[in-house]
Amino acid sequence: MIHTDDSQGELVVGIEPATITEEKCFVAAIPNEILAQIFIDSLVDEPQMQPDVAIAPLLLCHICSLWRTVALNVPQLWEDLHLDLGHAQVRSSNLPGLLEEKMDVLEFWTSNTAHLHPSLHLSFNNRDHFFLVEHDDFLPFQKLFSLQAIQSARLLNLHRLTYWNIDTLFNSFSYTSNGETYEFPNLEIFAIAGDLVNHFFPTGQRSIIFEGTPSLHRLALNLLMSDPVYFTEFAFCWGNLTHCYLACYHIRFPRWYGFMTSCVSLVCGAFMLSMDEFRRFEPTELPNLRQLTLDFTGDIRKGVFLDLSFPSLTALRLSTINYSRPIRIEQLLVPMPSLVEFNLRSCIAVDDASDALSTFVPNLQMMVFDGFISCGSMSPSDDITKILCSDWLTTGWLSDRAHQRRIEYFLRLSMVDPSGNLRQNVAQHLASIPGYPFASVVIEHSSGPLWDWPVMTADDLENRWDEKMKFHT
């Protein structure tokens, strides 16, 4: 019974406890299907580490037996799991027990997903928690990958790995305890991110053998390290891969070429290449590739694209940290008829004698110079005007497309023009060129590069690739 009391000059609304019964309680009468949808809507938007009984879905299991029964039978509540495997103290006597309990969390969580394949985000904070084999108080990666919960995943994100984790992880991918291959038949998205840049990592050659992934569509390996580690073999199931982000120092050119010819479905890719080893191959066409980022070491004048063709490529970014003599553009590019955006980053420089850019990319609409400075140039102002006014950039374009073209030039703060007349000088030079083919030129100063190999998580792979890659088109 609901009653009111306004004898004290204010309205008081109350419910007599004795009047509440299961038959009269509206919540208890909600059909399970509607209750299930309410539960799904109660999930928090931001990722939260589990297990946590203060938030759904575990919170829903602690209200009453009815809610627990309903919650445990709604697979969507258990589809995503963010689990930190690194909270336990290193070499603590109770470490195995803590990690075993978290393995139990994995199994419990994924047992409720029914027909759905889970998305698992696993963080590793302490470097010594996982070793290749049973050792002292530690658990091996092999035990982690042998779990059905892991092998059933649709999305797998391994985050905050340290150099010890990475080294043992490579071996765990390659070999099971019985010498068999791990099978991940449902894995569509896979990302590894390591905190490795400021750590010593044994130099030499590494292999990643992870072949049991027939459904893999998107892959990111964030393995930037202070010392060069050459990956001699990447063994995944490449045929269905559409997005690939290999931030690794560095993949030798022959290995990369073989990889590209295997990725017949690749749409977007970002790679770090070592050009120390170069040879020619059979000509190959990559018909589906739309977006490509390459970062080079070694002599890029050898001709990276000589044996490749890109009929559908619309966005290209090229970068190098080598301060060598300027290259001729025909030594680097091949005709790319669909290219709309072309980014040159760091110190890739262009020789004035190079063939016109329009020869290779006739439909170009945007040119981006990111922290660009010609090798050996001392004045940013002279450098910019030289490039923007060169025959390489200005000749051979179709006049009916001029209104669509745009140049953006990003200078780091350390390259600020000392005279302060940079924009004015550029404007004066461009005004003197009849029929200049670019409709607008934007010159900006920035504290760092426009783009510089961000960490790519599994969520980024699935939902934020374009945002992370920062192409304009």
Length in residues, the chain: 473
61-89 tens-digit pLDDT: 999 999 999 999 999 999 999 998 765 43
Q: Where are the beta strands (DSSP E) in 210-290?
A: 218-223, 229-235, 243-252, 268-274, 284-285
**The predicted structure's pLDDT at residue 171:** 59
- Exposure string over 271-301, b if 16+ CB within 10 A, otherwise e: bbbbbeebeeeeeeebebbbbbbbbbbbebe
How large is the average pLDDT for residues 163-167? 59
Q: Output the CA torsion 172→175→180→185 (10° steps).
A: 40
Per 3-state DSSP, the chain is made up of helix, strand and coil in percentages (nearest 5) of 30, 25, 45
Pick 102 or 154 by higher pLDDT.
154
**Model-level pTM?**
0.83
Q: Which of 102-111, 126-135, 164-173, 255-264 has the lowest mean pLDDT?
A: 126-135
Contact 453, 247 (CB under 8 A): yes
Contact 317, 345 (CB under 8 A): yes
Contact 60, 68 (CB under 8 A): yes
Bridge partner list, 4: 13
**The predicted structure's pLDDT at residue 207:** 58
Which tokens go with 179? Answer: 């010498």
Contact 444, 410 (CB under 8 A): yes
DSSP-derived secondary structure letter, 417: -
Of 471, 468, 460, 38, which is closest to residue 218 (Cα–Cα)? Answer: 460
Q: Is the pLDDT of residue 159 over 70?
A: yes
Q: What are phi and psi of 40, to 5 degrees?
A: -60, -40
Which tokens go with 218? Answer: 């998107």
Of 123, 162, 113, which is closest to residue 144 (Cα–Cα)? Answer: 123
How large is the average pLDDT for residues 257-285? 87
90-105 tens-digit pLDDT: 333 444 455 567 778 8
**The predicted structure's pLDDT at residue 239:** 79
Torsional sign, CA 36, 42, 44, 49:
negative
Q: Residue 109 is inside which H or E element, if any?
A: helix 95-111
Q: Is the pLDDT of residue 365 over 90?
A: yes
Whose tokens are 């406890």? That residue is 17
Q: Residue 425 is inside which H or E element, if any?
A: helix 422-431
Give CA–CA dist 32/44, Å, rounded: 21
Pick 69 or 386 by higher pLDDT.
69
**The predicted structure's pLDDT at residue 143:** 72
Pick 405 or 28 by higher pLDDT.
405
The pLDDT confidence band at residue 134, using thresholds 50, 70 and 90, is very low
- Sequence ranges of the domains in the chain: 1-78
422-472 tens-digit pLDDT: 777 777 778 887 788 888 888 877 777 788 888 899 999 999 999 999 998
The pLDDT confidence band at residue 414, using thresholds 50, 70 and 90, is low
Angle between helices 380-388 and 422-431 (to 10 degrees): 20
Amino acid at 138: F
